Amino acid sequence: MAWIGEIDLGTKPAPVSAMTLVSLTIDGQAVEVPEGTSVMRAAALMGTTIPKLCASDNLEAFGSCRLCLIEVEGRAGYPASCTTPVVPGMVVRTQTERLKQLRRGVMELYISDHPLDCLTCPANGDCELQDQAGAVGLRDVRYGYGGAGHLAADKDRTNPYFDFDPTKCIVCSRCVRACDEVQGTFALTVQGRGFDSVIAASQDEGFLASECVSCGACVQACPTSALIEKKVVEVGTPDRAVVTTCAYCGVGCTFRAEMRGEELVRMVPWKDGKANRGHSCVKGRFAWGYANHRERVLNPMIRASVDQPWQEVSWETAIGHVAAEFRRIQARYGTRSVGGITSSRCTNEETFLVQKLIRQGFGNNNVDTCARVCHSPTGYGLKTTFGTSAGTQDFDSVQFADVMLVIGANPTDGHPVFASRMKRRLRQGARLIVIDPRRIDLVKTPHVVADHHLALRPGTNVAVLTAMAHVIVTEGLTDEDYVRQRCDWDEYADWAAFVSQPERSPEATEALTRVPAGSLRAAARLYATGGNAAIYYGLGVTEHSQGSSTVMAIANLAMATGNVGREGVGVNPLRGQNNVQGACDMGSFPHEFPGYRHVSDDATRGLFEQAWGVSLDAEPGLRIPNMLDAATDGAFKALFVQGEDILQSDPNTQHVAAGLAAMECVVVQDLFLNETANYAHVFLPGSTFLEKDGTFTNAERRIQRVRKVMEPRNGHADWEIVQLVANAMGLGWNYAHPSEIMDEVARLTPTFAGVSYAALERQGSLQWPANAMTPDGTPTMHVEAFASGKGHFVVTDYVPTDEKTGPRFPLLLTTGRILSHYNVGAQTRRTDNVAWHPEDRLEIHPHDAENRGLNDGQWVTLRSRAGETTLRALVTERVAPGVVYTTFHHPTTQANVITTDFSDWATNCPEYKVTAVQVSASNGPSDWQQSYEAQAAISRRVERPLAAE
């Protein structure tokens, strides 16, 4: 795709509700636009550009720069076109002698206090101030060029990704407004008055030390080079762009990857992106430098055992070795002695091919994915209650929500772009309930305060939700008409009788959940009576022994109050990785083909057998924990891992290590020698999202194109590597492009039947189901009826976890993510994002720290029944007494050496969020950390290619 320049129409469009069209005349031309449109936007829509500096179509009209003045017949003065709405019969002139004179005078004032270094300025040719000076015909400045003090201001270079040069600032306030209106952080302000006005971050701090979250909205908004990316300063302005999809979280932001030659200069959020609407976070906007990091592996490597150094080999040698090893192992140990793991970071097409390789080539269903260790309870719970395994809404739906219930999620850190949209709606008056053991940012952030924060005891989600249901049912707050029409009434009656029992009341459960009964009752009433109520949840719901029960309890609440099937409501899982939804859709589970159809179903299996020309196993395969168990038992001998790091991300690290060590052939396909590669025998270098074509599916079921920005540095896209392995095993695949893989997915998967690259190019994106009945996709699910016909209420009794606190382990550990890092940190740790989070810290309440004699910043030992590690303490009231919290982004911490093997009763999703622990002062690294570091150092040795190669 060639250069794509986005047109800025100056102001936002008229409200969606504006149905009346207004006719007016601009510069002698008749134009018709929706009521509420500004004159500036109306002119832009007809092709007339009115000069502007403070206006932008992603911000509210401001009217401060005075360049966009117009004349309106019959009206005195010269109003700003950005703040002037159209009215019927209006006659507007945008270019008269008086307007030209006024605009040149305004521009003279700007230029008089601006450096005249255009030829050496990094924004030369990409500067709105420069463009507008030309547009108004400025040729001289009567006031001189010396300014009166601003030109001597120092640059702020503290942020690792962009510079702030106040000498270039024209105080248009676009950066301040972007921080306020788009991001919702309110980190920037205008200090001083009149000519002394300057932009400042927080309390006149450097950008790095301030409250700025480096989302890039201010940089994107700046019309000069006052705020500019360091990469643009280094490389120069880009000359072409490719629209693609971010490979970080499940929001699925669309970006313009702006290039100069083959070098990526910057990632700019695309305002036509339906998931992000022109916004971004620090990861997607700036943290893409890992693609060129010195530690990236670009050549295949093999070794006989993990204590030997890696040997670089050719692709042919590596692929042949993989095929030979898997054939050898299956011949000796049986068909089911091998398996694979798909990636939630790779494309739909690549994930589809890996599960196809396992089912068609290996002849079994031993395939699993990280989606099971995070959101498999979502699939089970929502399929049981609603009939589909995914969320119900699109992200735009949040603007119609009156009440948001956020449970077990931290959107500002895990899904920051969507969190900004949530905060915008909350500032407009929506109400908020937060159910979380930790005081996440949404509880209290600038201009947003939660109505209720239910700081529950970790592991008691089901009890809290059942108590809320008790209030809603016993106080007559259910939507009985909705339930009778849309749901199974007998199931509802059984459920209502269950939740109405006195022992389910907030008062009866308060001692268990630690949630005050009065607060819980008030929250339940707000959810049931506050208007459109939407539930957003994350891994704090699913990663429990009762994860599936909690998802079904959430669905019960939504159905009982009629909050499913329209905009502004619904049940919305916030998926963690960029393609977790797609990995599930593509058949990455051992019991399901693509489209969530069970492998034992004869008709479904027959469809795939006919397409693939082989007989397929009707027996569900092994999940990752089962593979590891079978490996330590000697029955499972080989594993193909694409784009996942199970040694760092899966629970009970010592168990994972033991299972990997017991295998005869572990193949890792990734960008870096990750932690799992410490136990690998073959390393196949992977490609980044910038180097491939394909699709991702985000948390709202939105299928979006991933487009190749540059050629793969390793020589092959990931889908090509899988095809090479398949053909070495004799499967005869001949895909020429990922679009052909998606065509096969569409032929075999009913919910994807209408998906093709042509359709995606035409529509921009599609939300499944997309088929003959819904060719434009499905933004809102279950509008007329549930996918299962009737909605199904499920009794969800609270069952305490087997993980118990006691004298030895009196605290509860829960884990999560932080804004600057992504998952195990393999990518973000290889960028400047480490400036914000260089290490994992253990959050501990001051009361618990004092009882143990611990100070902030002190090294502590974190110990559980599974293992122990050391890290530094962060004493904070963000966690409640009795609860500690840490992230898992740094392998030196090995946080998952602490977590146990307990898991969800239905899906085996690990119980990351509840681990009984003790914290004490540390005497140094744990035995495990020391032995792990020693093994890793030995395992990562690389020798140069052999002469034979």
- Tokens 């998967």 belong to residue: 749
**Nearest one of 471, 450, 344, 470 to 407, comparing CA atoms:** 450
Question: What is the pLDDT averaged over residues 241-259?
Answer: 95
pLDDT at 289: 93
Question: What is the pLDDT averaged over residues 447-474?
Answer: 96
3-class SS at 44?
Answer: helix
Percentage with pLDDT > 70 across the chain: 98
At 752, which amino acid appears? F
Average pLDDT over the chain, rounded to whole?
Answer: 93
pTM across the whole model: 0.94
3-class SS at 917?
Answer: strand
The C-alpha atoms of residue 419 and residue 442 are separated, in whole angstroms, by 9
Dihedral Cα 417, 420, 424, 425, nearest 10 deg: 70
- Give the pLDDT band (50/70/90) at residue 929: confident
pLDDT at 466: 98
Residue 293 has pLDDT above 60, yes or no: yes
pLDDT digits (tens, 9 = 90+) for 784-837: 999 989 999 999 999 998 888 999 999 999 988 899 998 888 899 999 999 999
Output b/e per residue, 89-121; b: 16+ Cβ within 10 A.
Answer: ebebebeeeebeebbbebbbebbebbbeeeeeb
- Give the pLDDT band (50/70/90) at residue 366: very high
Residue 281 has pLDDT above 50, yes or no: yes
Residue 120 has pLDDT above 50, yes or no: yes
pLDDT at 945: 65
The C-alpha atoms of residue 919 and residue 921 are separated, in whole angstroms, by 7
pLDDT digits (tens, 9 = 90+) for 19-43: 799 999 999 999 999 999 999 999 9
pLDDT digits (tens, 9 = 90+) for 400-420: 999 999 999 999 999 999 999
- Pair 550, 385: CB distance under 8 Å: no
Q: Which pair of structure tokens corresponds to residue 276? A: 């992000």
- Give the pLDDT band (50/70/90) at residue 1: very low
**Nearest one of 795, 407, 427, 797 to 572, comparing CA atoms:** 407
pLDDT at 760: 96
- Give the pLDDT band (50/70/90) at residue 949: very low
pLDDT at 895: 83
Residue 433 has pLDDT above 90, yes or no: yes
Give me the long-range contacts of 610-615 (CB less than 8 A, separation at least 24).
Answer: 611/744, 611/747, 611/748, 612/356, 612/359, 612/360, 614/360, 614/363
**Nearest one of 74, 182, 165, 179 to 117, comparing CA atoms:** 165
Dihedral sign of CA atoms 585, 755, 555, 420 in order: positive
Dihedral sign of CA atoms 420, 421, 427, 429 in order: negative
- 581 CB-side CA count, 13 A: 27
The C-alpha atoms of residue 869 and residue 630 are separated, in whole angstroms, by 27
- Give the pLDDT band (50/70/90) at residue 149: low
- Give the pLDDT band (50/70/90) at residue 893: confident
The C-alpha atoms of residue 708 and residue 693 are separated, in whole angstroms, by 5
Residue scoring higher pLDDT (144 or 574): 574
Percentage with pLDDT > 90 across the chain: 82
Question: What is the pLDDT averaged over residues 240-245?
Answer: 95
**Nearest one of 494, 504, 431 to 472, comparing CA atoms:** 504
- Give the pLDDT band (50/70/90) at residue 196: confident
pLDDT at 340: 97
Q: How many CB atoms lie within 10 A of CB 3?
A: 12
Read out DSSP for 597-636? EETT-HHHHHHHHHHHTS----S----HHHHHHHHHHTS-
pLDDT at 860: 95
pLDDT at 147: 64
pLDDT at 2: 40
